[in-house]
Copies of this chain bind each other. A is one copy, B any other.
């Protein structure tokens, strides 16, 4: 039972999401980060390697070097974790997949829908495992919500409200994290909608089990001079006719990371907030309001499997993230990991961004969400 060996591309000094992937991957003791192409700058790559405490020889100056050298080692990496800015997702994924190396990619899958379609083709052709970290689907109570809705707990879904307010881009976008997000060259065609709107989109489909088929998008760059959207409202229609409202914003001053989803069915409802992730509110048809918490006896197997501590010991974002890596480890061992987002989720998300951005620009009204090739 040796550990699965992970290589990372991206995640150099100053990065936020690289260390998060490292923690999440290693949290359950099944995976170890052993190599990385953390930066194209050799000095920074070395420094990052030291910080991650890996063998200095395995802190590579670039991805291709890493893939080549690691492939030749008997203890070479078992998969690649991609944590670069969006525009580098595709080449990194292709390089790995084409050499037979599984990929765990930060979201979004790629910078554009066309790229995502390319990627989907390669994933399908190679049959190499590929997964995407739509982190919020890793929370135990999100999985509980999904399971309860799938089991008919609220009846047929009628209405979804998913919102994701943040405030950190309400002013000037400064700092490493902010700058690339407001730059179309590095972020892709979506700003707020690509950065966090897709999380909300994925969560809405994940929790309800439904598919968005039509949307009406109203995106804006509220902060003067901004090239990409920073505030979005998208009305949704699902395949069953259910109605939805998706709101994402990065100019909502004071909001930190306020992802929240409410789903109402014929005879029940659920309410979950990312900032208080260990509780799920259930509205029952007889008027009772119930709060279930991580660790409760009433939880189903998906939620229980996604929890490491007893009730009342809060778990959070890193543990949710780790649940995706645990699922990915299962996938690498050939076990089922049905909740883990994959390339189809990636393509759907990119189609969502592309359709919303385009429809909003044209003030197009209701617009079908079409997934090319489906």
Chain A interface residues toward B at CB < 8 A? 1-3, 16, 19-20, 22-23, 26-30, 33, 50-53, 154, 158-159, 161, 163, 165-168, 170-171, 216, 218, 220, 222, 231, 233, 235, 243, 245, 247, 249, 251-258, 262, 264-269, 271, 274-278, 281-293, 295-298, 308-319, 363, 365-366
Partner of A154, one of B253, B281, B313: B253
Inter-subunit contact A251/B159 (CB<8 Å): yes
Partner of A310, one of B16, B171, B277: B16
Which residue, A168, A266, A312, has most C-beta atoms of chain B within 10 A? A312
How far is A253 from B157 in the complex, measured between Cα atoms in Å? 11
**A interface SS class:** loop
Q: Identify the closest chain B residue to A242 (Cβ).
A: B222
Partner of A275, one of B27, B258, B314, B366: B314
Inter-subunit contact B29/A52 (CB<8 Å): yes
Q: Identify the closest chain B residue to A222 (Cβ).
A: B158
Partner of A269, one of B1, B247, B253, B274: B253
Inter-subunit contact A298/B288 (CB<8 Å): yes
Inter-subunit contact A296/B287 (CB<8 Å): yes
How far is A75 from B253 in the complex, measured between Cα atoms in Å? 51
Inter-subunit contact A292/B283 (CB<8 Å): no
